[in-house]
Chains A and B, each alone.
Chain A
């Protein structure tokens, strides 16, 4: 039986990180910021310092809870000609650094966080670029949103989401319970203390080669990568796990790098990168595992080019007109359209399902949409009660007042006031139904605008 090769990180004397090694290597390839989160003594700092040793980097290691700005930039002094300011460089200042580790980033003062922000995000300090700086790393203890747990680290504050969003990947360091027996033995080996990571430059050569491949592929990102990133972002946002557009791009970069490191596209790898791309633990939030699993499933189907892949995007798409466009462009058969409609109506909120059905049902009934009889009936059940309404509403009126309108009318009037013609008539009809049903759309104007966008798409495609 062939003995398994030690992982790259184990060869550097870093144990227990095998599961997240592809994520760490992807961060080395993209050179995007990496943040390690874990309890004290789990090897976060050791890992990052070992990487800098193995790569032979000019490395700076700052403790954010103790740092002063002068530590970073050096002591300022005026230029000899009096025009501007220079900084007195020391071995600890950041100017010549190729890699920077900001330890305990969650323990620093807010004003220091702001200064670190430009370092992490832009590779700049005081607006001055740091051309040699390639890798920006940070580490922190876990925090919770309210610091109420018994395992909370006092002083480890939730990270500002704007700063957290600049990190591309988040690696959770494994604690003792998560280590294998072999890893525990390696960790307790007394000879490991003070060892300098040195693999003879092997990791550096690999990183350089992967980086070259990464840069070559940036111009034409493989379809599975961008498809996965797009679908995962849409699905997570639909599942109330907020992901910024910037993070969607960072996710695509990390996936591309991880694919290059692994040599192929692997489902488990994509899931691991997705999990490591969520910044929420930085501010003490832990998104539901089910939401992440569902987003990964939808995204992986999309990346794999499955014939049903568009359905995931259709269901999770936030705008109704984009939903309709997906239906028109990708529903290959009426049955596929019917199934998608059934899932969509079940997944959406009542007012959004109603708005979508209201907008497309007439075209569907005319047979102009790729929807079968079952789908048309599903739409009809939702839309028919909206097309004609007849009912009674009641509200409380103060004795001194007379002729007051229903309170909902005031909200809806704002959405209607600028509308004209058929658009206004459709909007009035829809909102009459909302009032009778006791439905209060959060943004009536936005919902109406999306209904109108569906109508315009149907008109533009000559479907009515």
Chain B
């Protein structure tokens, strides 16, 4: 009995020192890095604007069309000449915060239409003022940050 107990004790002591390989731990590290909107870099792709619209529980296209008609415009394309928007292509990045997002229930119709016009000129990745304005559920419910990529080649 004593022999068995002694062997068990020996094993308990030794297993920490001889468990088949060097003891190690898992390290974890978070990596966050961006070339977009980072003003500390030489590669400067400044953020131009954030766009996004908060809708009530209704079809976004119907809501926007109602506001558009209420302001006296027949088509989203009519907004081009009325509202000043970025004149060249920009890179878009998804945006998940609420700051800078307009709410159709609270904000001025003109601000809502400006966001709708810009969103209508965006895909998920790019803002392109030369493309036709497309209002769809997908385009109007996006929240995007737009960056000027010209400085990428600094």
Contact = CB atoms under 8 A, between A and B. Distances in A.
A219 B36 CA distance: 53
A13 to B, nearest CB: 69
Given A377-B123, A399-B24, A366 B149 contact: yes
Contact of B150 (A387, A393, A396, A464): A464
A165 B75 CA distance: 69
Contacts of B131: 373
Interface stretch (A116-124, A206-214, A420-428): A420-428
A203 interface: no
Contact of A429 (B23, B27, B35, B90): B35
Nearest to B25: A397
Interface residues of B, number: 36
A363 interface: yes
Interface in B1-22: 22
Given A362-B152, A384-B91, A406 B123 contact: no
Given A377-B123, A389-B31, A389-B32, A362 B25 contact: no
A210 B30 CA distance: 70
Contacts of B89: 365-367
A219 to B, nearest CB: 42
Given A421-B42, A426-B43, A387 B88 contact: no
Given A381-B125, A425-B42, A426-B35, A362 B149 contact: yes
A233 to B, nearest CB: 32
A26 B96 CA distance: 68
A5 interface: no
Interface string B41-68: 1110100000000000000000000000
26 contacts: A361-B149, A362-B150, A363-B153, A366-B149, A367-B128, A367-B130, A376-B125, A377-B125, A377-B126, A380-B91, A389-B32, A390-B32, A392-B28, A392-B30, A396-B25, A396-B27, A398-B23, A399-B25, A404-B27, A422-B43, A425-B42, A429-B34, A429-B35, A435-B31, A459-B153, A464-B150
Contacts of A381: 125
Given A365-B125, A389-B31, A435-B31, 6 more contacts: A363-B152, A367-B128, A387-B36, A390-B33, A397-B25, A422-B43
A362 B153 contact: yes
A394 interface: yes
A436 interface: yes
A4 interface: no
Contacts of B152: 362-363, 426, 464
Contacts of A464: 150, 152-153
B154 interface: yes
B133 to A, nearest CB: 14
A391 B30 contact: yes
A388 interface: yes
Interface in A104-142: none
A435 B29 CA distance: 11
A428 B130 CA distance: 33
Given A362-B91, A367-B128, A399 B30 contact: no
A181 to B, nearest CB: 65
Nearest to B148: A366
A387 B32 contact: no
A458 interface: yes
Interface in A412-461: 421-422, 425-426, 428-429, 432, 435-436, 455, 458-459
Contacts of B25: 396-397, 399
Nearest to B94: A384
Given A365-B90, A391-B31, A396-B25, A425 B41 contact: yes
Nearest to A378: B125
B28 A393 contact: yes
Given A365-B90, A464-B152, A390 B130 contact: no
A463 to B, nearest CB: 8
B70 to A, nearest CB: 32
A126 to B, nearest CB: 58
A381 B91 CA distance: 12
Contacts of B123: 373, 377, 380
B47 to A, nearest CB: 11
B126 A392 contact: no
Contacts of B36: 387-388
Interface in B101-154: 123-126, 128, 130-131, 149-150, 152-154
B77 to A, nearest CB: 18
A398 B22 contact: yes
A341 to B, nearest CB: 14
B23 A399 contact: yes
B78 to A, nearest CB: 23
Interface in A307-330: none
B149 A455 contact: no
Contacts of A436: 31
